[in-house]
Each structure stands twice: as C-alpha cells, then as structure tokens.
Amino acid sequence: MGIISDAIDALEDWCKDLFKDGITSQFDGISDLLSDTFLQTTGTGGSGGLVNDFVTQHPSQFTGGGTGGTTIWTTIETLCNNVVVPIGGFILTVILLNELIQMVLRGNNFKDFDDSIFIKWIIKALCGVILVANTYYIASALFSFGTTVCSNGLATLFGSGDYLSETLSINRTALSGLSLGELMTVWFISLIVHLGVLILIVAIVITLASRIIEVFMYLSIAPIPMATMMDSGEWASIGKNWIKQLLALSFQGFFIVVALGIFKTLFSNAIVALNASTDGVILQMGLLLGYTAALIFTILRTGAISKSVFSAH
C-alpha cells in the first residue's frame, strides 16, 4: 500500500507541476501578445506596435504596415482633387449665386440697396474657393489634433516599455496551496483568458482598420461638405456635421488609448492580488476574464462614444 500511495502522490505532484507550468506559460503568452500589440518602440514581432501605428500616425504616413509603393494618402488625394473638387466647386457656385440673390432681395426689392453686400459676397466667395480647393489638406490638419493627443496619451500611460510584462507574471508560490482540481480549474480559466486576449486583439484590429478606412472616406469627399459651409441656411449643417464626424473619428483613437490604460490598471491589480495570496485565486482569474470581455465590448463601442461626445450623427 505504501508503494502505491507514494506512486499516487508522485503522480499527483507531477500533475500539479504540469498545470502550474501550463498556467505560467499561458500568462507568458498573454504578456507577449499584449506587449507586441501595444508597445510603442520595443515591439519586435507579431503585431508589434499595432496600436501605435494605427492611432498615432497621420493619414499621410499610414501604410497599413507595408513598405514602399503608393500610399493610401496619395491615392485618395488624387481622387479628391481630380474628381470631387470640381463637384464641390459646382455646389459652391450654386450656393454663392443663391446667396447673392438673397442678399439683393433682402434690400426691400432694391429700395434699400447697399453696395457693401457685393464686398461681403466677394469675400465669402474667395473664402469658399480657397476652402474647397484646399479642403483635403485642411481636413487632414484637423485630424492631426487627434493623432497628437493619441501619441501623447500612449507615451504618458505606457511610455516606451512593456505594456504588462513586468506585472503579468504568476508566482508559482501563489499556486502551491491549490489542489489538483483547483489547478485544473485555474488552468482552464487561464486558457479562456488567453483566448479572450486573442479575440480582444482581433476586435482592436477591426475597430482601428474600420476607423482609418472611414477617415479616408471622409477625406475623399471633403470638398462637398466644405462647400455647403458657405450657405447661410440649412445646407450649412451638412458641413458642420461632417466636421463633427471627422473630429469624432480623430478622437476615437484617444478613447481607445484611455480604455487600454484602464484595462492595464485593472489587469495589473488583479495579478498583484492573485500573487499576494493563495485564497481567492479562482475569483481573481474570473475577474481577469471579465476585464478582458469588458474591454472587448468597450473597444467596439469607442466609435459611438466619440460620436456622442461631439454630437455627430
């Protein structure tokens, strides 16, 4: 019986060590995924620097990770200047002619005619022509406010070091007091957390890629809403809403950075609590899983949050 008991104990210890190694390796993998995704300067492989590339780069510098060849910026710039600017010019002409007619008619059918209205109209026309002709570059400059905020936010919250690797390490001593069944449960939850982090990265890629595509779409059509800004009536709301939408897309990156900063703090605190005591390990693992799921939904909602802040619709 003693030999059998010793063999069972040895097998149980071996299984415990196996699951402990599995748990620590799961968190090492999570650390590598998060670090390579969120690093600013030290990412070396995989999707390294992904967030930094998408939220801090100006559209003129964005290549989607490729090198060489024609940039997206050049393609959209050519499309805008050759196709959309003439349409914007036509709309501006119609609006300015309507404005001139309305100015003249306001003078009580020429009884109270004021020559200064022509000076006002000429100034307005010149401003409109300048804006429509250069609106692509004006809009991209407007977008640069958001990229600057995102860049400063990333540098402030994460610096140039690892995103979580310094704190995302499980001490084996924190797992030593767990039974084999508890270790199996913790390992299974850590596997789900690892899968959740993979889904999180996919959600971030979808959100960031959709955002930059929308940005180029708004830039490509820029002369038309800018032309409507010259109208004194309800047409001006088109241009105003377009500016709000562009600002919302610009600052969506900032809200993503804020969400990642909150996630980093919550995740780090849960790891510290997990390493501090063997009690409540399964609860802390559940919290890690919950934080990951919450960040996924938050990342997907950053666009709606940004639009609500700028009253864009």
Q: Is residue 244 part of a domain?
A: yes
Instruction: Tell whether 256 is covered by a domain.
Output: yes
**In whole angstroms, what is the distance from residue 89 CA to residue 96 CA?**
10
CA distance 243 to 77: 18
**What size, in residues, is the chain?**
313
Nearest Cα to Cα of residue 238 among 254, 251, 256, 223: 223
Q: Does some domain include residue 102?
A: no
- The pLDDT tens digits for 228-263 are 988 887 888 888 899 999 999 989 989 998 998 888
251 found inside a domain: yes
* pLDDT tens figures, 179-224: 788 888 888 888 888 888 888 888 888 998 898 889 899 999 999 9
pLDDT at 39: 62
Domain assignment of residue 31, yes or no: no
Structural domain count of the chain: 1
Question: Which residue range forms the structural domain that includes residue 170?
Answer: 46-55+138-309
CB-based contact 222:135 (threshold 8 Å)? yes
Pairwise CA distance, residues 67 & 71, whole Å: 9
Residue carrying the six token digits 């300015």: 96
Alpha-carbon dihedral of residues 15, 21, 25, 26, nearest 10 degrees? 40
The pair of three-digit structure tokens given for residue 100, joined into one six-digit string: 């001139």
Give the up-direction half-sphere exposure of residue 239: CA atoms within 13 A in the CB hemisphere. 23
Q: How confident is the model at residue 48 (pLDDT cuts 50, 70, 90)?
A: very low
> Which DSSP state fits 42?
-
CB atoms within 10 A of CB 84: 20
Let me know if residue 108 belongs to a domain: no
Judge whether 170 lies within some domain.
Answer: yes
Q: Whole-prediction pTM value?
A: 0.80
Contact by Cβ (8 Å): 88, 219: no
Domain membership flag for residue 76: no
